[in-house]
Amino acid sequence: MTDPVPPPSGELALDVRDLRMRYGTKDVLTGVSFTARRGEVVALLGPNGAGKTTTIEILEGFRMRSAGEVTVLGQDPARGDEAWRARLGVVLQSWRDHGRWRVRDLLGYLARFYAPYSTAEVPRPWDVDELIGVVGLAEHADAKILKLSGGQRRRLDVAIGIVGRPELVFLDEPTAGFDPHARREFHDLVHRLADFENTTVLLTTHDLDEAEKLADRILVLDEGTIVADGSAEQLARELTTQAEVRWTADGRRQVHAVAEGDPTDFVRRLLAGDPGVTDLEVRRASLEDTYMALVHRAETAGPGQQDLDGQVTEQTEEVQS
């Protein structure tokens, strides 16, 4: 059991290059590339149908890809063996599996599979009672799983996902259907994982707010490809190319939308051309505005119909103030 784990490519836990997936004639992923360093929390953000779940299922080794190179903890997930699987945590969207089991029994049962994969650096598995405490289920350790509330059940899913002390955890839409309180508790749990355990986390979400709260880095997936990659601030600069310029001239309020690039030129020309301009205001679209526009487009138009900036044309119009 002491033979060394194959060295990962550098310090990368995940290395995805030009990942493609096609179902029949439908291209779901059209070239996804990204990496994740060890200990990093990465959110895969995108509207429904963008390909988030397909991506994560390929990385988990549950789905075969059509093309591309994928390395997860140094191995190709399509050929991942059981020793590789022991270093991964998969938090499934559970439903009603093991409903008759007691919380402690199920965790204790699953923990047994990881014991042979214990190493000097990573003692496996977690002590079950300690883990139950960490996810806040101590009072329910002997409860029937069927009787847990949605939030409790989700915390149990996380506990199951990390019982083998994984080096990398996948979370697919972890807070879907949560109330705000449960969501907050769940976020605390993910932070604890990343901070104390140095676990790499890849999570999918369609909620920008959640991605900003949880992730060191956000990948925006749209129409099967990554359209932005970076921290929330970096994304704001990369993705938000629209700006609005407002001013008053001759007692009338005007607005001009700059669809692409730097609004400075427009402002310079405006001021040079009309000395009567007052109350000048330049406002860049927020990341939220931009993401909402993306989600809105994904929900209304079919995929690949129009591009993001196509909605706004450069024009000046009078507004009621």
- In the complex, the residues that contact another protein under the rule CB under 8 A are 1, 3, 53-54, 56-57, 60, 62-63, 81-83, 85-86, 88, 90, 92-101, 105, 109-110, 112-117, 160, 164, 172
User: What is the closest distance, in whole angstroms, from the C-beta atom of residue 82 to another protein in the complex?
Assistant: 4
User: What is the closest distance, in whole angstroms, from the C-beta atom of residue 87 to another protein in the complex?
Assistant: 9
With beta carbons less than 8 A apart as the criterion, state whether 45 and 93 touch: no
Instruction: Give me the helix-helix angle, 232-239 and 287-300, nearest 10°.
Output: 60
Question: What number of CA atoms fall less than 13 Å from residue 301's CA on the CB side?
Answer: 15
User: What is the closest distance, in whole angstroms, from the C-beta atom of residue 167 to another protein in the complex?
Assistant: 13
Q: Which two tokens stand for residue 4?
A: 């060394």
Is the CB of 151 or the CB of 166 nearer to another protein? Answer: 166
Is the CB of 114 or the CB of 247 nearer to another protein? Answer: 114
User: What is the closest distance, in whole angstroms, from the C-beta atom of residue 86 to another protein in the complex?
Assistant: 4
The closest alpha carbon to 205, from 56, 44, 53, belongs to 44
Residue type for position 156: L
Is the CB of 55 or the CB of 240 nearer to another protein? Answer: 55
Is the CB of 62 or the CB of 286 nearer to another protein? Answer: 62
Q: How far apart are CA 118 and CA 163, in angstroms?
A: 12
User: What is the closest distance, in whole angstroms, from the C-beta atom of residue 116 to another protein in the complex?
Assistant: 4
Is the CB of 83 or the CB of 312 nearer to another protein? Answer: 83
- Give the CA radius of gyration of the chain: 24
Is the CB of 28 or the CB of 257 nearer to another protein? Answer: 28
User: What is the closest distance, in whole angstroms, from the C-beta atom of residue 203 to another protein in the complex?
Assistant: 13
Is the CB of 13 or the CB of 258 nearer to another protein? Answer: 13
User: What is the closest distance, in whole angstroms, from the C-beta atom of residue 174 to another protein in the complex?
Assistant: 12
User: What is the closest distance, in whole angstroms, from the C-beta atom of residue 296 to another protein in the complex?
Assistant: 24
Q: How far is CA 145 from CA 98, 137, 142, 164, 190, in A?
A: 7, 11, 9, 20, 22
Residue with tokens 């949880």: 214
With beta carbons less than 8 A apart as the criterion, state whether 45 and 1 touch: no
Peptide bond into 125 cis (omega under 30): yes
Is the CB of 80 or the CB of 263 nearer to another protein? Answer: 80
Q: Using CB atoms within 10 A of its CB, is residue 48 exposed (0-12), middle (13-18) or buried (19+)?
A: exposed
Q: How far apart are CA 163 and CA 140, in angstroms?
A: 17
Q: Which two tokens stand for residue 8?
A: 């990962």
Q: How far apart are CA 11 and CA 41, in angstroms?
A: 14
